[in-house]
Amino acid sequence: MRWDIFAKSLLITLVVPAVLLAANPTDLQQQIEQVRKDREVLLEEQKKLQEELELINKEGQTLGSAVKSLDANRKKLAKDISITQSKITSSNLTIKSLESTMSKKEQQIATHREAITGILAKVSEYDAQPLLMHLLAYASLADVWGDRSELDELNDRLTSEIDTLRETRKALGQEKEQKEKVKEEQISLKGQLNGQKSVIEENKKAKEKLLAETKSKESEYQKMLAENLARQKQFEDDLSRLESELRITLDPSLIPSVRHGVLSWPLEKIFVTSPFGTLKTRQHNGVDFRASVGTPVKSVFSGIVQGVGNTDENNARFKKEGKPVCVSYGGWILTKHGNGLTSVYAHLSATIAKSGQSVEAGEVIGYSGGMPGAYGSGYSTGPHLHLGLFASQGVEIRPLTSSKGGCQATLMPVALGKEAYLDPLAFLPIL
């Protein structure tokens, strides 16, 4: 076979896959763009519903405003679910698009390898013949040098194609990494979707429960709020008594220096409703943030989830048995960070993170709650997120054994002395 014919056929073979890769956007890419546009519409609708919900939550604490808040919250949660489902659809399409591109690159690599193998075989065959044999095979020296020239060009082409092959393999590796990243994001989104569905189900139950327990009367609703406040005081007394019994001496060297920005915000929008420290009627061992039910709650730093629980878990049974109910944190997550700090997130309507799980800063771990009477609200009198911060050496998950309010057998984060409490705002970004 003549070298010039072989080289031309080889060049055509190698160029074809590159032309295929340069094709117009696929149907998958067009679908991804359409899903993105649809999601923009959903986000605008979600924004309007959130504004409506915030206005309702600013109204006085009445039964009517509570019911309106639950109804508005259900609409917003439904929109949240649609947005999450849209993101999952986008990730599915992105994975399919990546798989299609990866398949083309794998075909291109196979073609390159086959062609390179052919070149190497011909070069090897040529080099195996002594120079004298080449001279005898041609009528003149000009033919020999022409053949040699074609061989040199083919060697240059071989070097170029090997470089292209390396680049293609590198691009394929990057696309595989991207695919794995999208898959991880999709797992996270599916977890968020399950959490959102759980919140909307609890929202429905909370409304039914609220109307049943108050008999749709304002006076009964106000009585329920007053009982929540009384139970809050009972819980804080129980906790303070136990903390005094557990008092330990902390090692200051294990507590990070106070500095803003060590932690990140637990919510997308920040509005502090109750700071850390001594308030008019009580000691507040954390920071409360305004947050409608179902607002995504994010980890303030990377770490390991030490425990997940709900102090409302046995309350329905306790009520039937005529026992005091445990009114405290409600739904909670405790996460130990690698910097000497441990954070707790309380009054959650749903949790995503699992005990023992590694989480990153900014990762959604649960959803805020706090609607009075709703499962997971604890002693809350309104929707919000409670963020507490401990020196890691001074907190344990244990039952509130000295409780007079039904928490004796309920596990929850407990500080080993008041000194273990730290002000979250001293470590969060400056407001």
Q: Residue 238 has what pLDDT?
A: 78
Which residue type, as a one-letter code, is found at position 94? T
User: What are the φ/ψ torsions at residue 414 (nearest 5 degrees)?
Assistant: -130, 130
What average pLDDT does this structure show over 311-336?
A: 84
Check: CB of residue 55 under 8 Å from CB of residue 167: no
What average pLDDT does this structure show over 234-257?
A: 81
Q: Residue 351 has what pLDDT?
A: 95
Q: Residue 82 has what pLDDT?
A: 93
State pTM to two decimals. Answer: 0.76
- Using one digit for the tens of pLDDT, what is the confidence trace for 36-69? 898 898 889 888 888 888 888 777 788 888 888 8
Structural domains of the chain sorted by starting position, each given as residue range(s) with its CATH number in brackets? 3-182 (no CATH), 218-426 (2.70.70.10)
What average pLDDT does this structure show over 97-103?
A: 86
Neighbouring-strand partners of residue 421: 390
- Using one digit for the tens of pLDDT, what is the confidence trace for 213-245? 888 899 988 888 888 777 777 777 777 777 777
* CB atoms near residue 224 (< 10 Å): 17
Nearest to 286 by CA among 363, 346, 356, 224: 346
